């Protein structure tokens, strides 16, 4: 009886498990494709810090620089390796009664600091790889900042072009009604339609500029699409103008100058390697010799030293020393070049800031007021449509010049951050 009860319980348990397995997929299978499709259709919200982090994580140039550091670390291991010992066997006379067999172990001994000079040169190379990686991070960060604001400025220009198209359509409709009423010449209607077509072309160009700017930004993290949406709205907050004294000091110790300084140190280490080769190495030998004719074994001990008469390595040493001088000259060139680029970027930033402030505070509001007055006067019949077109063109040219000044300011600030090695952009 108990046996039948146990079998019945096991059967009910197996049926319950089977029913659960049959119904479980039905509850979880359908929502997943819907969720995936909804996520794929939604653009990613991207702030400037998120864009920088994404680029620093997925940029292939930085990945290659990290692998270069690992490769250079392997050269340090190899630079510290000592010469391998050698084993040799020598047999004299093939007759067994008079044969002599010598087994010998030879070990080269490096003198003159060759090993330490190799290690030092490899360490300088590793420091250069680390600094080059840091410089690439700063460069990519500056590039992302410039590209990010380039997208924002392009989007503002797109919005401006849409506004221009709307105004052009409104003006064309107003002109058409006035022509129908017989108040103005049909030539004015033709001008209005031409202006509308021009605004439509400008909108197409603005759409293309936004697409290209988004793709340029996406290339920093290895993407070719533009499935993201920018979240920052502070595009009109101008980047801060640094102190010229602090900027000069930072650029003098920037990544490019430090790399040139490390190159001088690396060349000096390589020159020390060539200088150390003037000291000949000693080779120690130790072995055993078997003399069959006398039926005895003999220990063999010896050493060998090359005589640097025909080759004293003077040519390689002189070449290495000259390359040290070349590295010093290149360091001087880099210092002057970086200061010159910093000065140019500083002037670009200062001029762009002044231009943007003047346009934002005076020119654009004045042009906008004149355009609104001309439009109102045109609606009341006091101004010709040509006056409206001139005021409209002046207003939108001022707005476009304002956004161009903003873009120039952000690009110049990004260049200054790259030259100075700043990790975070400065704004005000």
CATH of the domain at 126: 1.20.1600.10
| pLDDT > 60? residue 389 | yes
Domain assignment present for 110: yes
Residue 138 domain flag? yes
Helix (H, G, I), strand (E, B) or coil at 112: coil
Q: 234: pLDDT confidence band, cut at 50, 70 and 90?
A: low
Cβ neighbours of 15 (radius 10 Å) = 10
Any domain includes 103: yes
For the stretch 114-128, pLDDT in tens is 899 999 999 999 999
Residue 265 lies in a domain: no
Q: What range defines the domain where residue 64 resides?
A: 44-235+279-312
Q: Is the pLDDT of residue 206 over 80?
A: yes
Distance CA 113, CA 108 (A): 14
Give residue 424's pLDDT band: very low, low, confident or very high (50, 70, 90). Answer: low
- 262 occurs within a structural domain: no
What stretch of H or E contains 199?
A: helix 186-218
Does residue 296 register a pLDDT over 80?
Answer: yes
Res 189: pLDDT: 80
Strand partners, 296: 291
Domain count for the chain: 1
Q: Is residue 323 part of a domain?
A: no
User: Pick the residue with more confidence: 327 or 150?
Assistant: 327
Position 297 in a domain: yes
- Name the band, by pLDDT with cuts 50, 70 and 90, for residue 352: very high
How far is the CA of 171 from the CAs of 174, 339, 384, in angstroms?
5, 52, 12
Give me the torsion for CA of 387, 388, 391, 395, rounded to 10°.
-170
């Amino acid at each position: 009886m108990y046996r039948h009860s146990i079998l019945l319980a096991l059967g009910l348990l197996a049926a319950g498990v089977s029913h659960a397995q049959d119904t479980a997929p039905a509850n979880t299978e359908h929502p997943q494709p819907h969720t995936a499709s909804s996520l794929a259709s939604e653009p990613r919200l991207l702030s400037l810090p998120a864009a920088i982090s994404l680029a620093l994580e997925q940029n292939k140039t930085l990945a290659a620089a990290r692998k270069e550091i690992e490769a250079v670390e392997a050269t340090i291991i190899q630079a510290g390796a000592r010469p391998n010992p050698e084993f040799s066997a020598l047999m004299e006379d093939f007759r067994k009664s008079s044969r002599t067999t010598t087994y010998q172990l030879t070990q080269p001994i490096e003198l003159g600091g060759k090993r330490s000079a190799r290690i030092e040169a490899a360490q300088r190379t590793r420091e250069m790889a680390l600094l080059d990686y840091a410089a690439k991070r700063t460069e990519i960060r500056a590039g992302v900042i410039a590209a990010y604001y380039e997208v924002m400025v392009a989007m503002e220009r797109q919005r401006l072009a849409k506004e221009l198209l709307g105004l052009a359509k409104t003006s064309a409709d107003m002109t058409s009604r006035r022509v129908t009423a017989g108040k103005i010449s049909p030539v004015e209607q033709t001008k209005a339609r031409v202006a509308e077509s021009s605004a439509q072309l400008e909108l197409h160009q603005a759409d293309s500029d936004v697409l290209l700017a988004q793709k340029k930004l996406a290339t920093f993290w290895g993407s070719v699409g533009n499935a993201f949406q920018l979240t920052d709205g502070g595009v009109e907050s101008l980047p801060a103008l640094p102190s010229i004294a602090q900027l000069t000091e930072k650029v003098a110790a920037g990544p490019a100058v430090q790399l040139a300084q490390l190159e001088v140190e690396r060349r000096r280490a390589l020159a020390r390697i060539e200088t150390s080769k003037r000291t000949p190495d000693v080779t120690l030998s130790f072995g055993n010799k078997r003399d069959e004719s006398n039926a005895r074994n003999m220990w063999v001990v010896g050493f060998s030293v090359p005589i640097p008469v025909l080759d004293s390595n003077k040519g390689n040493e002189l070449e290495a020393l000259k390359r040290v001088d070349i590295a010093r000259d290149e360091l001087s060139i880099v210092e002057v070049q970086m200061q010159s680029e910093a000065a140019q970027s500083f002037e670009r930033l200062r001029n762009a800031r002044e231009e943007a402030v003047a346009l934002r505070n005076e020119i654009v509001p004045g042009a906008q007021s004149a355009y609104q007055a001309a439009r109102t006067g045109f609606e009341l019949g006091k101004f010709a449509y040509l006056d409206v077109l001139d005021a409209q063109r002046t207003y939108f040219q001022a707005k476009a010049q304002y956004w161009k000044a903003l873009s120039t300011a952000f690009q110049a600030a990004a260049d200054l951050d790259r030259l100075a090695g700043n990790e975070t952009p400065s704004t005000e």
